[in-house]
Every structure is written in C-alpha cells, then in structure tokens.
Structure 1
Amino acid sequence: MSKPHEELQTNESELSIMKHNANHATVQPKQHKKWPWVLLGIFVLLVALGTALGVTGYKFYKQALQVKDHEMAAVETVKQVKDIKNTMDPATLQKIIKPMQQHTSAARTIAHGGLWKLAAMVPVYGDDIRAVQGMTEVVDDLASKTLPEVSDTLTTVMSSDLSAGNGQINMQPVLDLKNAVNTANTQVQQQYKKMKNLPTPHIGLVKNAYDQALDQFADIADKLNQGNEMLSILPKFLGQDGQRTYLVLAATTSESRSSGGLGGSLGSMTTNNGSFQMGDFYPNTEFEGENSEVYTDSDKAVFPFSFDIRDQEADPDFNNVAKNVATIWQQSSHSTNVDGVMAIDPVFIQELVKLNGNVQIPNGPLLTGDNTAQFLLNDIYKDVYTAYQDEYFQYVASNVMDATFKDLSINKLVSIAKLISPMAEGRHVSFVSFHEDENKAFSDMGLTNGIPSDEEKPEFGMYFNQLNASKMDWYLHRNTQITRTSCNQDGSQTYHVTVTLENALSYEDYVNGPTYILGGGDLRGHIVDKMLLYAPAGGSISNLTVGGSAQIDDPQQGDLNGNGMIYTVANIAYGQNATFDFDVTTSPKAKEDLKLDQTPMGWTNTGVDYGKAACEIKE
C-alpha cells in the first residue's frame, strides 16, 4: 500500500536480553451515565434532614420521601435513554419529557411548600433546605424548558435534507441546529451557575450529595459547551465564508509512527459555501527527495528516518505533524493553500464503511464494516501485487471520504459526530485547523492529539515507531494494566503500570509471508519498535523495569522538540514478548483518573485494563 523504508535496520548486538512473563486481561473502563446522578444527588439523604429538624421532622420526613420517590421515578424515565446527553432523537426525547416533567414538577412543588419554606429559615440547616430546593428547581427547569425546546427544534431539523445534490450541503438546517444547541447550551450554563451558587449544605451527607450532583452537572455543561463550540465553527469549516482546502493523510499503522503510522498517500478535499469535493490521493513516492523532507535537529537525533511524508507522524504531537505535512504539500507540484490537515487510518476508514455502506474494489474484494482494516493493513500485502497496492488504497480512501459527505442528513451528521470522538481518542483520526479559533474547538473535542499537557486531566503517553522495514506492527499486540496504588498528601496520585508487548505472528504467516510484511535478513519476522514514554503534565515516571523474552535496550532519558521523555528499543522476534513495569505519578492538580494516550493499533480495542484502585481521588 505504501513504500516502506528500505534503508532502516537495527543493530541487534546493541540490545540486551532480559526475561520475564506476564499476561493481562483486557477490560474497557466503565462508562458512567452522567446526568441521571444529578437527579439522585438532590435527595440521597433527605431523611437525614428530617431527623436534624426535630419534632416537625416527621411530616417533613414524609414529604422528603415523596420528593425522593418523584425524583427516583424521573430517573427511571431517563434510563430509557442509554445516554441522554448524546441523543439527538426527538421521538425518544418526547417519550421521556412528559412523565419526567410530572415527577420533577411534583418534587419542586413539595420542596417549596409551607413546611419547607419554614424549615429554610432555620439557622444553619436552612442552607441544606435551600440547597435541595434549588436543585429541584434546576432539574425541573431542565425537564420543563430546555429539553422541550431542544426536542421541538430537532423534530424540524432532523427531517431536513442536508444534501442539495452534486456534493452541495444545504446550510440552513446546519445553521438551525447550531442555533438550537446554542440556546440549549445557554440555558444549561445558567442552570449550572445557579446550582453552583446554591447555599453550601452543612449536613455532611447532604453536602456530599450536593457535591456529587454539582460535579455531574458540570460534566453535562462542559460536554454541551464543547458540542456548541463545535457547531459554532461548522459553517466556517464547510466554507460559509469562502473556499477551504484540507489535506488528508492516509497512514498505515502496520508500520507504526508515534501519531499513527507511515504515511501512505496524501490527498485534499475542498469546501465552499456548503459544497464538498474530494480531490485525488497521491502515493508517498510523489513526496520524496530533499525538498520533501521536513524535520528538526531533535527529530534526527531521536529517529533514523528521512522525514519525508512517510515519517511525519513520528512526532507524537499532531500539531507539529500537520504543519510539516502542509509544508511538504506546498513544496510539491500539487501546491495549494491549506486550511487544515487530517490524518486517517484503516480503522477509521472501516468505521466509515460501516456507516456509509460496503465498498466494492474493481477486480478486488468487497470491503465491509468488519474486514476493511484487516485488508488494508495486512491482506493487501499478501493478495495484491505491490504495483497495485497504492491504487487500491487510494481508491478506498477517496471513495469512502466522498461517500461520507454525499446524501448528508442531520442523522448522518450526528452519526459522524458520535464516531469522531472515540476514533480521535484512539488516534485513528486527527485534525488540526490552521484557523486558531476553530482549532480550539477541535482541540476541545480531542482531535488535535498532542502530547500530555493537562495537569487536571492526567494522561501519560506511550508511542511506537517501527525501525524494521516491514508491516510487522499488525502483529504487535499491546496490553496495558493501570492501577491506582496511592493517593498522596500533596493531592497527586500514583499508579502502577504494566505493559506487555507480544509478537503474535502466526507460524503460517512466518513461513509463507512476503518480505514486504515480515522484513528481510536477520530481522525477518521481528517487531523492532522504538518506544517513547511521556510522563503526565506536572507528573513523573519512575521505577521502570523491563523483562520478557525479547531484546530490549536500556531505557534512556531523552528530549524531542523540547519535551522530555524516556525511550528504548524493543526487538521482539517471532514468538517473543516484552514487558515494562513502572510507576506514574500525576500532578497535585489532577482531578481525574490517569489515562493512556498511545499509538493506535489495527483495531478499536485499546488493550487497556484499569485495575481496582487502592484509594479514592480527593478534590
């Protein structure tokens, strides 16, 4: 599919052998439904309030139970939607709004009755009453004002056809959706501000319930604000103010580079007042030579690459990658103005095939939402002559991207939006806009994929770069176990991390596979990856040990473009594995669990297991 680096080899004599074995199950971290807990947080311990208020507490206690029952019923209604904050289905919203309103309204009425008003005047504990009253107001406003307005607008917008034919997008429904979400966002931000300004409860359990509800509502407000920010720049992205040109770098993760994979082909797409046109893709061989090499001294010090279009994703910061790719394009015969750069891999293409429909390659296989990634990352090198591989890949990438914007509807736009977030988180797609205000929105969505930089949302980076001229990273299976081991006095947390790398090359492929996949000479069937480890922003990595049956260089401290990291080389032969154990400590400012940012594999499963925590994060 793409021209590999034929000149790259690794000196095995420089690698040391260390032995250790480990197996780890792969479990996806739990995904929590956020905003139903806002309802639950209102009344978790209203019984405690009744007790605290003394003799009149019995009647208050009964009313508190009624509030609890109504809000619990509202929660059960919401559970009909798997993830209410992401749903764009007006029929589903209509189904839950009316019964939800009945319960939240009843709870609000009770909480503002005479006894509650009297109790709210009680010194100290009156703050607890007013907090509960305020929370019932916020939730009822959400049910009676915000959701109905969103539902009504969506009913109109969702029935609109975004496609005006000939690659033209009807902009009016996009603008209507943008305005609807902006209105909803304004209301939710006001509701969040109101909840945040409620009196601070004094009863411990009520305060805990309030704090939990506030945290969950903050998440809702943040996510909706991100969506609003994205929709606010969508018309510009679609060329409302004039033509835009975006580059699309198609990369193969079978030959890893930190941000994704070896660049196989580069194409362009343009938008102009809602019109969309997919340009041609060109093979990486058209972007070779000194004029196509863009790098820093730091790049060359860390990697033995030529840094033409094939190697630009060696930098784990896609912001740098995008600038360099644009420079290479503008120095080529295809030069145009560039407004942004997107990188995609076969896993992302497979998800688009699943969304748009199967792709029949002329004189080739039928690609589906299940087999596309395997074909483009492995089978193509076995079944298709090298001379035709670029043509196949360019055909698939061009047709899939073109189909994505054809016959566009709001439903399809929503499906694309839902797809983008997990694909960007796994680095299967990245995007940088060269318009600063717009790029902030893409960054907030996680699309710009930089190195770890947020102290409050800690992550550590683990990036891989194939040094063997091969497509052996298809056979690299990575498993990572992350377990919180201590919550430190300064507010930081420490986690133990175990990484297992396995060469999963089958015996049949080892015996019969082509050199293009396996590499040649003494490195046939070897995975030789240069591995970079980045600590969380404001944090550290310590106590690093290596093991397994593979050959592993002694880890070294290094620097890439001004950012410190640890690097090593793992040479994993057929049937071998490598293990890495280390501790990661976050910044004292961390407010969330540690996550892993890593080079993508040829599938959606991240191979990350978040183990049972030894302590709870205290904010």
Structure 2
Amino acid sequence: MLLAVVVALAGWFAVSALKAKTEVQAAVQSATTLSGQVANGDMNGAKASIGAFGEHIDATYRQTSNLAWMAATLIPYYGDDVRAVRDVVSILHDVSANALPDLTQAAGELDPTTIGIADGTIRLGGMQQAAGRLTSANTVIADAADRFRQIGGTHIGRLTDMISQAQTRFDQLASLTDIVTRAANVLPSMLGLAGGDGTTDGSAAGGSTRTYLVLVQNNSELRATGGIAGSWGTLTVSDGHVSISDFTSTSQQWDEPIADLTPDEKTLFGTKMAFFQQDVNFTPDFPRSAQIATVMWQRLSGQSVDGVISVDPVFLQNLLGAVGGMTLPDGTVLDGGTTAQILLNQTYFDKTSQDEQNAFFTDTASSVFDHIVASTGGDNTALVKALVKSVTDGHAYVWSAHEDEQTQIADTAISGALETDPARPVTGVYLNDGTMGKMDWYLDRTITAAYDKTYPNGAKRYTVTVTLTNTLDPVTAANLPELIRGYEDGDTSRPRHGEIDTVIHAYAPAGGRLADWTMTGSGIGDGQFDAITTHEGLTVGSKNVILEPGESMTLTFHVITSAEGGDSEMILRTTPQSK
C-alpha cells in the first residue's frame, strides 16, 4: 500500500513538473515579448503580455503548491532542487499578485508613441499619470529581483540553466520597469511640466521654467566622457516648451582654479579641468564635470542653471536619423548618416582657420537643436529609440542641480557617474587625448570584456582587452591640416606629423582590483602602467601611449570583482566611440 502511494505521488509530481515547466517557459516568453512591445510603443500588446505572464505564473504556482511538490522537498539530495523551484515560483507569484495589477493600469495610461517633441513642445505620453502605479509596481519587482538573485544553483545542470535564464529575463524586466519608473518620476519636474498627464495645453501657466547648460563634446579630441566640451549653450524649458540659446566656443582660461581638485584628480588628470572650459571632462565622473562647468558658466554669464546636459555629434546624428535631416545655410547636409563625419572631420578640411571651425561647430549645434525641437510629424517611437541608444552608448549625459532629481538618475546610464558600490561591478576604460589636435577620428578602438571564472568566495575574474590603432599611413598623415595633426606641447611652431597621443585609464570595479596586465605592440615603453592610483576609492592604472601612423598597441588586463557583486554581471563602461 505504501509503495502504491509513493508511486502515485511520484507520477503526480512528474506530470505536475511537466506542466509547471511548460507554464514557466510561456511566462518567460511573455516577459521577453513585453520588452520589445514597450520599446516599440505597443502598449496594448504590452498589457496583453503582462496579463499572459500573470496567468502562466499563477498556473505554475498552483502546480508547485500541491501535495506532490511538498512531498518532493523531503527527498534526500534533490529536495533542495525542488525547494529552489518552489522559491522561484513563489517570488514570481508575489509579482503577479502585487505588481502586475499596477503595471497593467500604468500600461493603459502610457502612450510611448506620443512621447517626443512636436512644435517646440516636449510631451511625455502620460508618464505623470502613471508615475504612482509604476512606483508601487517597481518596489515589488525590485524586491523580487533581489530575492531571485539569492537563489543558487541546483544539482541538475538543465534545471540550473533554466533558473539562470529565468533570472536573466526577470532582471531585464526589472531593469525596464525601473528605468520607466525613474523617468516618470523625474522628467515632469525637470521639464517644468504642470499637467497631470505629462502634456501641456500650450501655456506656461501652472508650470515652471528650467534652464540647463548644454555641452557639445567634440570626440575628435578625446576626453573621458567623449571629447572636449567644444561648444556651450543653454536650453530652457517652460511647461514643456523648449527654447535654445546661441552656442559659443570654449576658449576661456582662468588664472585661478574654478574648483578645488582632489589629490586623486590632480594625480590622474592634472589641473587643467579646473582652469580650461574645454577640459572639464578629463574625469570620467560626469556629475563632477557638470558641477565644475556650472561654476564656470556662472562666472562667464552670471547665470545659474538647473543642471547640465552633455551630448556629442553622434547623439545629434542619431536624433536627425529619427526626425529627418537638414540643410545648413552654407549648403551642408546633415542627416542620420553624415553628421558625425562632417562635424568631427570634414569641417577641418573645409574651414581653413580655427575661428571658422569654431564658428561652424557652434552655429551647427544651435541649428541642429532648433531643427530637432521644431520638428513636426516625425516618428516619435524612432526618436525615443534614438535617445535610448544614445544614452546606452554614452553619447548623452544629464546632471541635475536638484538633489531629489539627481538621486533618481544617479545610478543610471544617463548620469555618467563612477560606480562605487561593490555590489554593482563596473570596469571602466577611459581615454584622454594628449595630441592637442583632432586626430582621434583616425584612432580605431576595440575594447572588450570576457568572463573567466568565479572564485569560491563569489568574486569573479574578467579579461579586458583594449586595442588602439592609428589608422593613418605616413603620407596621408603628413598632408593633413595642422589643426588636425595638432602641435607639440601646444606650440604652433611645432606641428605634429601624424602621431596620436593617448592616455588610457583602466578602472577596476568597486571593491575589486586590477589583478595583472600585459601590453604588446607600439608605444608601450616598458609595458607597465605609468601609475597605479585611486579615484573615488577605485583602483586605476594609467598609461600614456603614442602611436605613429599605422602603429597599434594592445593592453590586456584582468580584473577581479568584489564578492559583494554576487551573480551580477560586470558592466564595461568606456569612452564612447566617435563613429
């Protein structure tokens, strides 16, 4: 009789496990589909996917809560695996019961297809209306994601892989929800919007006015966050209505430092970032650059600002690809495929003096912003995608002078802040130019990271590979305009001959370390870092490399993350590409 009961329970469990597996796979597929639907502005589809996710999880929960599963947890050795599955399902059921209702209502209030700019007005597609429900759902989902990460491996390889895949998909859902929630909470105030649904009726009544300093970086002369801050202007928003000031070139140099630099900053970057407008972003920590820039702007203009926005020609190119190209007064055509090349390289052949080049760059920045703001009838979904891609790739950063807003964006990609939390492993590779020309258009950069292994304490090792190549040949280099080639030590009587002078800064993750490194190729000297120091508690190795035309070098280093990082995958953050 007992044997018959055991056999019956085993059979029941086998059938139930198969049903649970099918339901979980369907739930994972719904979550995967959801991300794409939100990205494409299909909120009706998103609501359907949210509903399907909940139905599949609820069905799985019913299966794993029955007597057969409870009995299976008592099985020696494999009982732990059964408990792991039940824990996963319990977490997801909590999300289904306590987050999905709010998420479904929020999806009904959001309309991403109306998020964008039209006739000089920014519209948020119902973000304000959905903010409360998004916040409630996000709290539950974030807690669930933390609990999910605590579930370890099992004795069955395929089961461990399934749980790992489910964790990855859920992390993606949690990340998407968190980003949308932060945007819904912070954008209305940053844009001075008064309407409860994120729209404006055409008047500024009831809204507020915000003014932001805008830095346009020039990636052909590298700085850690992109390139020299070559043009500065302001963007003013009143209840969603946008106006752009004229941009000016940045040539100001102060006799006294604008900011007190830390010993770490002086060791790594020298003191120029406290004296020169163009050099505020030698540091990869954008909030620090922004704070220094606001002081400089106040000294220059007497104007206080609510924050700083940094963009580059690749950002402008991405947005023109979404809203449509434009023709400048001199006949130059800028669009989604040509803007970066024209602004970062071609102009230095077409304009023969530095004054002409500066004027073209600043006038173009103003014209492009005016064109984007005044655009009508464009593809709002394409515009949102262009913005997201630009932020993801490091071509746009934002800092708010309002503490509550900065707190919301501080640990997102758009903040450009150094990550100092050991639980969030980030390795950085940042480049600063020493050529003092516009040669970095010809610097090919390949930077990759690959997982190696996990240590018993949970720390992980990764291999990071950095390859830099001067893509010019000597003959072409010798015929470049001097303003591209640059000058030795800034001395205009000593033009360079085509070499590219670059400082590489390799940042270890917070709580981690640079384990070892090798350098091969040209311009590496003794093959060691010139200095190993710290910045905001992060270990940094720095190397100055000079590559002649056609030369290349490779730096390979291993980083070990903190054990506090747990199962979190390391993120590689780099100076953004120029093309």
Which AA in structure 1 matches 2:342? F
Cα shift readout 1:164-204 (whole Å, capped 9, x = no counterpart):
97634467834224345335435645876998999x99986
Q: For the residues of structure 2 that align with 1:262 and 1:320, how far apart are their CA atoms?
A: 15
Which AA in structure 1 matches 2:277? I
Counterpart of 1:396 in structure 2 is 364
Cα shift readout 1:566-617 (whole Å, capped 9, x = no counterpart):
22211111111122233322222223333332222202xxxxxxxxxxxxxx
Q: For the residues of structure 1 that align with 2:463 and 2:55, how far apart are their CA atoms?
A: 48
- The reply on whether 1:320 has 2:288 as its aligned counterpart is yes
Look up the SS of the partner of 1:462 in the other structure.
Answer: strand
Q: Are the equivalent residues in 1 in contact too, given 2:46–2:107 (CA < 8 A)?
A: no
Q: For the residues of structure 1 that align with 2:464 and 2:88, how far apart are their CA atoms?
A: 40
Counterpart of 2:199 in structure 1 is none
Which AA in structure 2 matches 1:271? V
Instruction: Identify if the C-alpha distance between structure 1 residues 147 and 406 changes in structure 2 by more than 3 Å, giving closer, same or farther.
Output: farther
Instruction: Identify if the C-alpha distance between structure 1 residues 410 and 177 changes in structure 2 by more than 3 Å, giving closer, same or farther.
Output: farther
Look up the SS of the partner of 2:415 in the other structure.
Answer: coil
Look up the SS of the partner of 1:370 in the other structure.
Answer: coil
Cα shift readout 1:481-502 (whole Å, capped 9, x = no counterpart):
4344443333322333332211
Q: Are the equivalent residues in 2 in contact too, given 1:104–1:143 (CA < 8 A)?
A: yes
What's the offset of the Cα at 1:375?
1.1
Which stretch of structure 1 is more off in the superposition, 163-172 or 245-254? 163-172
Counterpart of 2:521 in structure 1 is 548
What's the offset of the Cα at 1:86?
4.6
Which AA in structure 2 matches 1:315? T
Look up the SS of the partner of 1:444 in the other structure.
Answer: coil
Which stretch of structure 1 is more off in the superposition, 131-140 or 496-505? 131-140
Counterpart of 1:260 in structure 2 is 226
Look up the SS of the partner of 1:513 in the other structure.
Answer: coil
Q: For the residues of structure 2 that align with 1:596 and 1:160, how far apart are their CA atoms?
A: 31
Counterpart of 1:90 in structure 2 is 43
Q: For the residues of structure 2 that align with 1:447 and 1:183, how far apart are their CA atoms?
A: 23
What's the offset of the Cα at 1:248?
0.7
Q: For the residues of structure 1 that align with 2:430 and 2:467, how far apart are their CA atoms?
A: 14
Q: Aligned runs of 1:198-597 on 2, under 5 Å?
A: 213=166, 216-217=169-170, 220-240=173-193, 242-285=208-251, 287-290=252-255, 294=259, 296=261, 298=263, 299=265, 302-303=269-270, 305=272, 307-332=275-300, 334-386=301-353, 387-406=355-374, 412=380, 418-506=385-473, 509-520=476-487, 521=494, 523-550=496-523, 552=525, 555-559=529-533, 565-591=540-566, 592-597=568-573
Q: For the residues of structure 2 that align with 1:122 and 1:546, how far apart are their CA atoms?
A: 55
What's the offset of the Cα at 1:454?
2.7
Q: Provide the TM-score with structure 2 as the length reference.
A: 0.80
Cα shift readout 1:382-430 (whole Å, capped 9, x = no counterpart):
1234333233322332233344445689983x65554445433433222
Look up the SS of the partner of 1:120 in the other structure.
Answer: helix
Q: For the residues of structure 2 that align with 1:203 and 1:559, how far apart are their CA atoms?
A: 43
Instruction: Identify if the C-alpha distance between structure 1 residues 569 and 277 changes in structure 2 by more than 3 Å, giving closer, same or farther.
Output: same
Which AA in structure 2 matches 1:238? L
Q: Are the equivalent residues in 1 in contact too, given 2:81–2:155 (CA < 8 A)?
A: yes
Q: For the residues of structure 2 that align with 1:350 and 1:75, how far apart are their CA atoms?
A: 35
Q: For the residues of structure 2 that align with 1:481 and 1:122, how far apart are their CA atoms?
A: 44
What's the offset of the Cα at 1:225?
2.8
Which stretch of structure 1 is more off in the superposition, 302-311 or 181-190? 181-190
Q: Provide the TM-score with structure 1 as the length reference.
A: 0.75
Query: What is the total number of aligned residue pairs between the two structures?
Result: 546
What's the offset of the Cα at 1:540?
1.7
Which stretch of structure 1 is more off in the superposition, 358-367 or 178-187? 178-187
Which AA in structure 1 matches 2:177? L
Q: Are the equivalent residues in 1 in contact too, given 2:118–2:373 (CA < 8 A)?
A: no
Gaps of 5+ in 2: 194-206, 488-493
Q: For the residues of structure 1 that align with 2:149 and 2:495, how far apart are their CA atoms?
A: 64
Q: For the residues of structure 2 that align with 1:293 and 1:197, how far apart are their CA atoms?
A: 47
Which AA in structure 1 matches 2:347? I
What's the offset of the Cα at 1:542?
3.8
Cα shift readout 1:303-359 (whole Å, capped 9, x = no counterpart):
374731111111222122111101110001x22111111211111111111122112
Which stretch of structure 1 is more off in the superposition, 266-275 or 131-140? 131-140
Counterpart of 2:70 in structure 1 is 120
Counterpart of 1:13 in structure 2 is none
Cα RMSD (Å) of the superposition? 4.1
Q: For the residues of structure 2 that align with 1:552 and 1:201, how far apart are their CA atoms?
A: 46
Look up the SS of the partner of 1:369 in the other structure.
Answer: coil
What's the offset of the Cα at 1:269?
1.0
Look up the SS of the partner of 2:126 in the other structure.
Answer: helix
Q: Are the equivalent residues in 2 in contact too, given 1:460–1:597 (CA < 8 A)?
A: yes
What's the offset of the Cα at 1:150?
4.9
Which AA in structure 1 matches 2:280? Q
Which AA in structure 2 matches 1:316? P
Which AA in structure 2 matches 1:363? D
Q: Are the equivalent residues in 1 in contact too, given 2:9–2:68 (CA < 8 A)?
A: no
Instruction: Identify if the C-alpha distance between structure 1 residues 422 and 71 changes in structure 2 by more than 3 Å, giving closer, same or farther.
Output: same
Q: Are the equivalent residues in 1 in contact too, given 2:213–2:232 (CA < 8 A)?
A: yes
What is the percentage of aligned positions where both structures have the same residue?
26
Q: For the residues of structure 2 that align with 1:192 and 1:586, how far apart are their CA atoms?
A: 21
What's the offset of the Cα at 1:215?
6.4
Q: Are the equivalent residues in 2 in contact too, given 1:356–1:400 (CA < 8 A)?
A: no
Cα shift readout 1:528-560 (whole Å, capped 9, x = no counterpart):
112222222122224333331335475232557
Q: Aligned runs of 1:11-90 on 2, under 5 Å?
A: 54-73=7-26, 75=28, 83=36, 86=39, 88-90=41-43
What's the offset of the Cα at 1:504?
0.6
Look up the SS of the partner of 2:288 in the other structure.
Answer: helix
Q: For the residues of structure 1 that align with 2:147 and 2:509, how far apart are their CA atoms?
A: 34
Q: Are the equivalent residues in 2 in contact too, given 1:532–1:566 (CA < 8 A)?
A: yes
Q: Are the equivalent residues in 2 in contact too, given 1:161–1:410 (CA < 8 A)?
A: no
Which AA in structure 1 matches 2:507? Y
Instruction: Identify if the C-alpha distance between structure 1 residues 118 and 157 changes in structure 2 by more than 3 Å, giving closer, same or farther.
Output: closer
Look up the SS of the partner of 1:525 in the other structure.
Answer: coil
Q: Are the equivalent residues in 2 in contact too, given 1:352–1:400 (CA < 8 A)?
A: no
Instruction: Identify if the C-alpha distance between structure 1 residues 197 and 480 changes in structure 2 by more than 3 Å, giving closer, same or farther.
Output: closer
Instruction: Identify if the C-alpha distance between structure 1 residues 80 and 52 changes in structure 2 by more than 3 Å, giving closer, same or farther.
Output: farther
Q: Are the equivalent residues in 2 in contact too, given 1:85–1:220 (CA < 8 A)?
A: no
What's the offset of the Cα at 1:525?
0.5
Q: Are the equivalent residues in 1 in contact too, given 2:285–2:416 (CA < 8 A)?
A: yes
Q: For the residues of structure 1 that align with 2:378 and 2:187, how far apart are their CA atoms?
A: 13
